[in-house]
Amino acid sequence: MELTNKVALVTGGGTGIGRATSLELARLGAVIAVNYSRSEQEALETVQQIIDQGGQAIAVQADVSRDVEVRAMVEQIAATFGRVDVLINNASITKHIPLENLDAATEEVWDQLLDVNVKGMFFCARAVAPYMKQSKQGAIVNLGSIAGNTGSGSSLPYAVSKAAVHGLTKSLARALSPEIRVNAVAPGAVATRWWTGREAQMLRLAPNLLLQQIATAEDIARFICSVVVQEALTGQIITVDSGQTL
């Protein structure tokens, strides 16, 4: 897929991997809709960075766990730019809970993580699919995690939610073919705001980094963009973890 003038929605696009991906897609010529739920200032800063670099972008608010807000957001993007070609399902949340502390994995925690991390990705994919099918070409990249493969991570509900994202990716790839490609990128440890102040814990969870470096948001963003443009790829869960799980 050639990205020049394509319209890309990046959920959670104002911070971390989302911001890095928004900037990289814009650098490659895409028009960016930077979604945010509460981080309005960060989203507006991302938009301004894109504009300052000669790109085109808007900020759009929606809680991805609420279907009605997702549908309104996508309608706004389509009304503004006339199309939606790319979806980066990046918006995710976590809770830092030791795996063995089952009591701390409350019903509220489960509902929060599954609502955003899984249902939110489905809602966004469902909302953009008609526009992509209309243009007979679209690409969706879901942000998974090696936690979804290993069962270990910031919490048990988080790991399970990311395993569900991997399953969702495969099911959507079947449901939306042949017009829309759906893949997932599963990072290992990434230096983002979620781990600020918890660097020692992150290193304990990632002791086997063959490349001896924690990935940056920019590392993951560049790979996400390479998945977007690869037209012979769908239904794949691709690990990017500096050799952590080898």
Judge whether 46 and 34 are in contact, CB under 8 Å: yes
CB under 8 Å to 155, separation ≥6 — which residues? 94, 95, 96, 97, 98, 99, 105, 109, 113
Q: CB count, 10 Å around CB of 229? A: 14
Q: In which residue are the tokens 């918006």 written?
A: 91
Which is nearest to 39 in space by CA: 165, 185, 192?
192
Point out the catalytic residue in the list 36, 123, 131, 158: 158
Measured from the Cβ of residue 193, the count of other Cβ atoms closer than 10 Å reads 11
Residue 158 designated active-site: yes
Catalytic positions, written as ranges: 158
